[in-house]
């Protein structure tokens, strides 16, 4: 294998963090002229596993186009330290901050925060904290959830009322148990009240600090032609009104975050590459 081929291989490492280490995978930029840096923030619970295939395809495509891409497994997720029950929204935001700091020390070019589903909420909160030097942060959001509360409700619906683990005898629903500060067990995950509270408070609102950058908002659709859902109109208008350069698009593709990780989404990958490499004028 040639030195150039070896340099293009993803680099796996552990980033020190609070309560253990975080597994990271870095795809170094290929070519002689790096185009920028991308930090990927993954979705919630089992959606992380369901989306790994498509995300890996996109990360490789971005690296080939000259972008350095860093993927991180947050506290209690994937191959990182801790259990899901240990996770809090504040801890995940701290992990994202540490990953951004590491990535900013690698190469040059604009910084993109790439969030999938609930990871989009985390990316938006991280963008609220401006970069050193005042450079704008750009956002790439895949299938963003409207709010953390929506994501939480979707997750709680995974378990039928008769199957609430640890709550059936008291007659409590998971939402009631969380409100009382208790943890609930759903679909193999232990969700703490602390994490549920932080997730539930998260919103897709434009940052109020730092310069506005670009927002690329991409969703998959089964309709012909593909169309963004009507619910996207209001948040997109808010971002545009806050001075962000908004590019929103729907492409045909499967709801791959809901499957076992065997789907492909070539139109989404192509749209992402086009959006990041064909930058429109200010």
Beta carbons within 8 Å of 242's beta carbon, 6+ residues apart = 206, 212
| Contact criterion met (CB below 8 Å) for 105 and 37 | no
The answer to whether 153 and 127 are in contact (CB under 8 A) is: no
Q: Is the dihedral of CA 17, 106, 205, 65 positive or negative?
A: negative
Q: What number is the average pLDDT over the span 58-72?
A: 97
CA angle 146, 148, 152 (to 5 degrees): 115
Give per-residue pLDDT as tens, 231-247: 999 999 999 999 999 99
Q: What pLDDT score does 270 carry?
A: 96
| Contact (Cβ atoms closer than 8 angstroms) between residue 80 and residue 21 | yes
What pLDDT is stored for residue 159 in this prediction? 67
Angle at 96 between CA 229 and CA 76, to 5 degrees: 95
Helix axes 89-104 and 193-201, enclosed angle (nearest 10)? 60
pLDDT at 280: 46
Joined together, the tokens standing for residue 141 give: 């959001």
Categorize the per-residue pLDDT at 164 as very low, low, confident or very high, splitting at 50, 70 and 90.
very low
Query: What count of Cα atoms within 13 Å lies in the side-chain half-sphere of residue 13?
Result: 12
- Name which of 222, 189, 211 is nearest 45 in CA terms: 189
132 pLDDT exceeds 90? no
**Tens-digit pLDDT profile for residues 11-32:** 999 999 788 999 999 999 998 8
| Bond prior to 225 in cis (omega within 30° of 0) | yes
**DSSP letter (8 states) at residue 33:** S
**What's the pLDDT score for residue 49?**
95
State in words which class domain 3-147+202-277 has. alpha beta
Q: How many CA atoms lie within 13 A of 218 on its CB side?
A: 25
CA distance 71 to 56: 9
Instruction: Give the Cα separation of 235 and 217 in Å (integer).
Output: 11
CB 229 within 8 A of CB 219: yes
Per-residue pLDDT of 188-226, as tens digits, reads: 999 999 999 999 999 999 998 889 999 999 999 999 999
The rounded distance, in Å, linking the Cα atoms of 28 and 31 is 10
Predicted structure pTM score: 0.93
For residue 71, give the nearest of 46, 37, 94, 44 by alpha carbon.
Answer: 37
Asked if the model's pLDDT at residue 160 lies above 80, the reply is: no
Instruction: Reply yes or no on whether the pLDDT at 161 is more than 50.
Output: no
Helix ranges (DSSP H) in 26-181: 47-64, 89-104, 118-127, 148-156, 174-179
Q: How far apart are CA 226 and CA 91, in angstroms?
A: 37
Sign, CA torsion 261/263/268/269:
positive
In the chain, domain spans: 3-147+202-277
């Amino acid at each position: 294998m040639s030195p150039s081929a070896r340099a293009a291989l993803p680099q796996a490492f552990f980033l020190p963090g609070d309560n253990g280490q975080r597994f990271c995978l870095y795809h170094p930029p290929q070519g002689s002229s790096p185009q920028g840096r991308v930090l990927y923030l993954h979705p919630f619970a089992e959606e992380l596993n369901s989306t790994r295939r498509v995300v890996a395809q996109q990360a490789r495509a971005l690296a080939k186009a000259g972008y350095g891409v860093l993927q991180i497994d947050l506290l209690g997720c994937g191959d990182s330290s801790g259990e899901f029950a240990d996770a809090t929204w504040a801890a995940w935001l701290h992990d994202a901050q540490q990953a951004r700091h590491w990535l900013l020390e690698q190469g040059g070019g604009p910084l993109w925060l790439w969030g999938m589903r609930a990871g989009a909420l985390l990316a938006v909160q991280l963008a609220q904290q401006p970069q050193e030097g005042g450079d704008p942060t750009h956002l790439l959001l895949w299938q963003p959830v409207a709010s953390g509360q929506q994501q939480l409700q979707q997750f709680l619906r995974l378990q039928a009322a008769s199957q609430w683990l640890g709550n059936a005898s008291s007659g409590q629903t998971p939402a009631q148990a969380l409100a009382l500060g208790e943890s609930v067990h759903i679909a193999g995950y232990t969700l703490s009240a602390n994490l549920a509270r932080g997730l539930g408070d998260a919103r897709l609102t434009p940052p109020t600090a730092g310069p506005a950058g670009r927002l690329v908002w991409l969703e998959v659709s089964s309709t012909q032609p593909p169309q963004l859902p009507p619910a996207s109109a209001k948040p997109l208008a808010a971002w545009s009104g806050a001075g962000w350069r908004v590019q929103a698009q729907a492409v045909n593709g499967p709801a791959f975050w809901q499957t076992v990780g065997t789907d492909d989404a070539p139109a989404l990958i192509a749209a992402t590459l086009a959006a990041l490499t064909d930058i429109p004028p200010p």
